[in-house]
Amino acid sequence: MRIAGLQKLTLLDYPEHTAATVFLPGCNFRCPFCHNAALVLDPNDTVGDTPIDEFFALLDKRHGLLDGVCITGGEPLLQPDLVDFCTRIKREGFAVKLDTNGSFPEALRALVETELVDYVAMDVKNAPERYAETVGVPGFDAAPIRESIDYLLSGAVPYEFRTTVVRELHEPADLVALSRWIAGASAWHLQSFVDADTVLAGAGTLHAYAPAELEALLPELQQAVPNTRLRGV
Quote the pLDDT of residue 190: 98
**Arithmetic mean of pLDDT over the chain:** 95
Which pTM does this prediction carry? 0.95
pLDDT at 133 over 90: yes
Quote the pLDDT of residue 177: 98
Quote the pLDDT of residue 39: 85
What is the spatial distance between Cα 207 and Cα 194, in angstroms, rounded to a whole number? Answer: 8
Query: What would the pLDDT profile of 69-81 be if each residue is shown by its tens digit?
Result: 999 999 999 999 9
| Pairing between β-strand 19-23 and β-strand 5-10 as defined by DSSP bridges | antiparallel
Average pLDDT for residues 120-136, to the nearest whole number?
98
Average pLDDT for residues 192-220, to the nearest whole number?
95
Quote the pLDDT of residue 152: 98
Quote the pLDDT of residue 43: 78
Quote the pLDDT of residue 110: 98
What is the spatial distance between Cα 159 and Cα 139, in angstroms, rounded to a whole number? Answer: 28
Contacts of 158 (CB under 8 A, 6+ apart): 118, 119, 120, 186
Average pLDDT for residues 43-70, to the nearest whole number?
91
Average pLDDT for residues 22-38, to the nearest whole number?
93
Average pLDDT for residues 43-55, to the nearest whole number?
86
What is the spatial distance between Cα 128 and Cα 125, in angstroms, rounded to a whole number? Answer: 9
pLDDT at 47 over 80: no
Which percentage of the chain shows pLDDT scores above 70? 100
- Walk me through the domains of the chain, giving residue ranges and CATH numbers: 5-231 (3.20.20.70)
